[in-house]
Amino acid sequence: MDWDDLKLFLAVARAESLSGAGKVLRLDPATVGRRIARLEEALQARLFVKSPQGYTLTEEGGRILAHAERAEQAVIGAAEELRGARGLTGQIRIGAPDGCANYLLPQVLARICDTNPGLEVQIVALPRVFNLSKREADMAIGVSRPQTGRLTVQKLADYHLSLAASRGYLAVHPPVAGPEDLRRHRIVGYIPDMIFDKELDYLSQIGVDHAPLASNSVSVQLNWLRHGAGIGVVHDFARMAAPELVRLLPALRIRRSFWLIRHADDGRVERLNRFATLFLAEARAEIARLEAPVRAEDAPEEPSEEPDVAKRDPLVGN
More confident site: 255 or 83 = 255
- All structural domains of the chain, each given as residue ranges with its CATH number in brackets, are 3-83 (1.10.10.10), 90-152+258-294 (3.40.190.10), 158-256 (3.40.190.10)
Band of the pLDDT at 250, cuts 50, 70, 90? Answer: very high
SS3 274: helix
pLDDT tens per residue across span 136-168: 889 999 999 988 878 899 999 999 999 999 999
Give CA–CA dist 117/90, Å, rounded: 10
Q: Which percentage of the chain shows pLDDT scores above 90?
A: 56
pLDDT at 112 over 70: yes
Residue 118 in this model has a pLDDT that exceeds 80: yes
What b/e string do you get for 254-274 counting C-beta neighbours within 10 Å, with b at 16 or more? Answer: bebebbbbbbebbeebebbee
3-state secondary structure of 191: coil
How many angstroms separate the CA atoms of 136 and 132, rounded? 6
Phi and psi, residue 244, nearest 5°: -80, -5
264 pLDDT more than 90: no
What is the distance, to the nearest Å, from the Cα of residue 198 to the centroid of all Cα atoms in its chain? 15
Helix (H, G, I), strand (E, B) or coil at 269: coil
Q: Are 130 and 124 in contact (CB under 8 A)?
A: yes
- Pair 187, 203: CB distance under 8 Å: yes
What is the spatial distance between Cα 99 and Cα 153, in angstroms, rounded to a whole number?
Answer: 20
Between these two residues, 6 and 121, which has the higher pLDDT value?
121
Phi and psi at 300, nearest 5°, equal -70, 150
DSSP state of 310: P
CB-based burial, 25-39: b 16+ in 10 Å, e otherwise: bebeeeebbebbeeb
Q: What is the pTM of this model?
A: 0.70
Question: What is the pairing mode between strands 187-189 and 231-235?
Answer: parallel
Q: Which of 15, 19, 27, 17 is nearest to 4 (CA)?
A: 27
- Averaged pLDDT score across all residues of the chain: 86
Distance CA 45, CA 42 (A): 8
pLDDT by residue (tens digit) across 58-75? 988 888 887 887 777 677
Residue 117 has pLDDT above 50, yes or no: yes
* Burial class (CB within 10 angstroms; exposed 0-12, middle 13-18, buried 19+) of 156: buried
| The three-state (H, E, C) secondary structure of 101-146, written as one string | HHHCHHHHHHHHHHHCCCEEEEEEECCCCCCCCCCCCCEEEECCCC
Mean pLDDT of 284-302: 83
Q: Rounded to the nearest 5°, which phi and psi values hold at 75?
A: -65, -45
Name the band, by pLDDT with cuts 50, 70 and 90, for residue 258. Answer: very high
Dihedral sign for Cα 212, 217, 220, 223, please: positive
- Crossing angle of helices 3-15 and 18-25, in 10° steps, is 130
Mean pLDDT of 215-236: 97
Q: What SS3 string covers 234-261? A: EEHHHHHHCCCEEEECHHHCEEEEEEEE
